């Protein structure tokens, strides 16, 4: 299952609080990326927070994986975990616009 994970920084954190964990955080993200658990990683353009695409069995597994990140386990960030499914609307859209025919 694809999981969207959107980082939320803990209130009132400072750069100094993050500094001791950044190298270990990067290493752990790299491990998860190499293993195929983290499929994509981004930073938001509007703020310094990450957005991850994970491949996990379910949201509980995704939460466990994210808890293994040093910034999460040390309470500096958390993630909103959102399960994703394929978009189901194409069949409905094509049925409405072209009768019951499938696209050519």
In this structure, the strands spanning 50-55 and 2-9 are antiparallel
The pLDDT-based confidence of 98 (bands split at 50, 70, 90) is: low
104 domain-assigned = no
pLDDT in tens, 34-86: 999 999 999 999 998 999 999 999 999 999 999 999 999 999 999 999 999 98
CATH number at residue 47: 3.30.70.1060
Q: Is residue 85 part of a domain?
A: yes
Give CA angle at 56 (70, 48), nearest 5°.
45
Q: Is 81 inside a domain boundary?
A: yes
- Does the residue 103 lie in any domain? no
Domain tally for the chain?
Answer: 1
pLDDT of residue 103: 53
> Is residue 93 in a domain?
yes
Q: Which domain holds residue 13?
A: 2-98
Per-residue pLDDT tens over the stretch 22-34: 999 999 999 999 9
């Amino acid at each position: 299952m694809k999981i969207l994970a959107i980082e939320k920084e803990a209130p009132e954190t400072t750069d100094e609080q993050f500094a001791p964990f950044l190298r270990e955080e990067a290493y752990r993200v790299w491990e998860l990326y190499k293993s195929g658990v983290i499929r994509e990683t981004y930073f938001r353009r509007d703020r310094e927070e990450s957005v991850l695409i994970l491949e996990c069995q379910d949201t509980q597994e995704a939460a466990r994986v994210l808890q293994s990140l040093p910034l999460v386990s040390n309470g500096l960030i958390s993630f909103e975990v959102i399960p994703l499914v394929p978009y189901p609307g194409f069949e409905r859209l094509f049925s409405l616009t072209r009768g019951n025919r499938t696209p050519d």
